[in-house]
Amino acid sequence: MILKHLINMKRIFIGVKIDPGETLMNMITYFREGLNGERIKWTESGNFHITIAFLGDTEEDKVKAVGQMLSTVCTGSGDFEIIIRGAGVFKNLKDPRIVWASIEPSAELIRLFESVKLGLKDTGITIEERNFRPHLTLGRIKSINNNTAFASLIDRYQTTILHRQKVSEIILFESVLLNSGPVYKPLEKFALTDKRRGEVEKGRTG
């Protein structure tokens, strides 16, 4: 019975896919070359995304309810632009765990997050209560031997505009964990339609 329950679960999150341009990719190449030999699991560019809400293992009926909620939330919200600027780390430079690129503060992105959060609550799903810090994960760090070189790389790109992108949809992803690394499978896409159009353009990926 427990096995059947687990089979019907999907590990899901809601996010924005990032299509990296030349400046961002050049920085990542520079990081990878400068930190060659360090124990870092770099994110594949095809997996680049900004997480709006991570739901984790979710029952199939809840996944459908989340999709219905996102259809409503995205209607009339309108698209907007985000700017990726600078690099940083979680936890800290002395004991780094994740290297990331920062998303500049965006009122539209924050409003979208708050709408999704409220919609999830109405659906019966509560996400972790913490400040929304949108970022693009570049790599997960197991260990760093040369912290000085690492800090120098972070400092070099701290204020650089790395990428601009129009956000016209959000995606409900399934995270499939494989030995080779995670695969993020789009389950459903939700267009951020303009209020004047008044209808959701929804695309499904089979």
pLDDT in tens, the chain (206 residues): 444 445 578 999 999 999 999 999 999 999 999 999 999 999 999 999 999 999 999 999 999 999 999 999 999 889 999 999 999 999 999 899 999 999 999 999 999 999 999 999 999 988 877 789 999 999 999 999 999 999 999 999 989 999 999 999 999 999 998 888 889 999 999 999 876 554 444 445 44
Query: Which ranges constitute the DSSP H helices of the chain?
Result: 2-7, 22-34, 60-74, 107-123, 147-156
Superfamily of domain 2-194: Cyclic phosphodiesterase (3.90.1140.10)
pLDDT at 153: 93
pLDDT at 7: 59
pLDDT at 181: 81
The catalytic residue positions are: 49, 135
> What residues does each domain of the chain span?
2-194
pLDDT at 203: 46
- How many other C-beta atoms are found inside a 10 Å radius of the C-beta of residue 141? 19
pLDDT at 6: 52
Chain-centre distance for alpha carbon 83: 14
pLDDT at 188: 97
pLDDT at 198: 45
pLDDT at 74: 95
Q: Which residues lie closer than 8 Å to 167 by C-beta, 6 or more apart?
A: 16, 79, 80, 81, 82, 108, 109, 192
